[in-house]
Amino acid sequence: MAEHPHAAQIRRGYAAFSAGDMDTLRGMMTSDCTHHVPGSHQLSGDMKGIDAVLGYYGQLAAQTNGTLRVELRDTFVDGRGHVISVHRTTAERGGKKIDMAGGIVFRIVGDKITDLDECVADMAASDEFWA
């Protein structure tokens, strides 16, 4: 069975993120996309607009001295523009390490990502790591 186009799109996005290919990511998202980051730490909140979203991704790399790794585990689609990803995140920062499951609920309109709602397995551990 062929993979749903939205699942394939999200896989391409994860590959681009992992490669630091911000141009590809820019082309996959609407100019007014929003990435919602959970928690109560310095990087949490709503990143509104493609420049803010890509700036957030740059901060993830900068804050972890390039150690951040996100391994896509699976995708789930509903055929109506929603994709749920499940991934594993590892990183080091300021003598702290994180190894946590998480995911993102994507909203796709046409062929562009409009919203990314990020979820983490352990909010307290995520807040502590990014504090």
Give the pTM.
Answer: 0.95
Instruction: Name every residue whose Cβ is closer than 8 Å to that of residue 54 and which is 6 or more positions away in sequence.
Output: 22, 25, 26
pLDDT at 2: 83
Sites in the chain below the pLDDT cut of 70? 1
Which residues on neighbouring strands pair with residue 77, listed in sequence order? 83
Q: In terms of Cα–Cα distance, which of 107, 19, 121, 27 is closest to 61?
A: 19
Segment 5-19, tens digit of pLDDT: 999 999 999 999 999
pLDDT at 89: 98
pLDDT at 63: 96
Q: In terms of Cα–Cα distance, which of 69, 99, 101, 97 is closest to 85?
A: 101
Phi and psi at residue 89, to the nearest 5°: -115, 130
Q: Are strands 45-48 and 96-109 parallel, antiparallel or unpaired?
A: unpaired
Per-position DSSP letters for 22-79, written without gaps between them: HHHHHHHEEEEEEEEE-SSSTT-EEEESHHHHHHHHHHHHHHTTT--EEEEEEEEE-S
